[in-house]
Amino acid sequence: MTLEKLTMAQALNRALRDALADDPSVLVFGEDVGALGGVFRITDGLTAEFGTDRCFDTPLAESGIMGLAVGLAMNGMRPVVEMQFDAFAYPAFEQIVSHVAKFRNRTRGRVGLPIVIRVPYAGGIGGVEHHCDSSESYYAHTPGLHVLAPANAADAYGLLREAIASPDPVVFLEPKKLYWSKENVDLTRSVPGIGTAAVVREGTDATLIAYGPSVPTALEAAEVAAGEGRSLQVVDVRSIVPFDDATVCAAVRGTGRAVVVAEAAGFASVASEIAARVTERCFHYMAAPVRRVTGFDIPYPPPKFEHFHLPSVDRILDAVDDLQWEDA
């Protein structure tokens, strides 16, 4: 075992570097990802090491970026594109939904598009309009796309390597507020792959289900609850699509209570889907209805009001308290 203390940003950078070194068909491109190394420095040093043919800047035109990626993937390359900010990706949405997601089906399996769409996403950094959004539901609702959301440096490295190697297109959601979180990581150790959730804290009283930026908040809530005598289990979804029903539902059946935590607005959301799947599969094990703690059903708020919008430890614990404990 070789442990390295890495931020999530450094782990992602290492994943891109290793993928570029291992496979000459891998290309990295997007706005400012070249000499600058990206707004968040995820691609720092890659152009210097691999040259402008392998890691290069594009015009400020997200639809053009995706169109270029489609053409390159059709001709045997593995493009890894960066959308720079979550809400910047919407001009590329038509390309993603109409072409990237559907091309394998349209060609009856003859042509796949092994594209990774890296999206720095969600809140927690005080970003202004168009710089913070939680757009996972749009992608998760689109058949043909895999959607991943790591919550720690180890998963950021492992899942990004798997995404780049995948024959299918992957939307890779990178929580902006976790870019600078640091931990000891063993990059030689494999992590659970695409389509696999993970129990990141054991507990017996209720299960918190979260992904991406909400996982640390759920873990913090579980720690506070432990001090109050309540044992909360935490499941990190990791892979939104494909979804790991087996792991999530086994966890919920073990506790009989569940709270889904996510930053996106709650209506017609990934959190809604998780709650529905858990209810359908675990109904006879449940001591209380599934609760959700999400962002509010409003446009993403200005930076000064962001902390009211995002799920907090207090809101999570309030939802846990609402799980009909008097009936236990």
Q: Which of 99, 131, 146, 309 is catalytic?
A: 131
- Residue 32, Cβ density class (10 Å: 0-12 exposed, 13-18 middle, ≥19 buried): middle
Tell me the C-alpha distance between 154 and 163, whole Å: 14
Q: Which long-range contacts (CB under 8 A, 24 or more apart) does 322-327 make?
A: 322/288, 322/291, 323/206, 323/257, 323/259, 323/287, 323/288, 323/291, 324/287, 324/288, 327/287, 327/288
Q: Which residues pair with 235 in a beta bridge?
A: 199, 209
Contact 147, 101 (CB under 8 A): no
In the residue annotation, 146 being an active-site residue is answered as no
With contact defined as beta carbons under 8 Å apart, do 115 and 165 qualify? no
Residues recognised as catalytic? 131
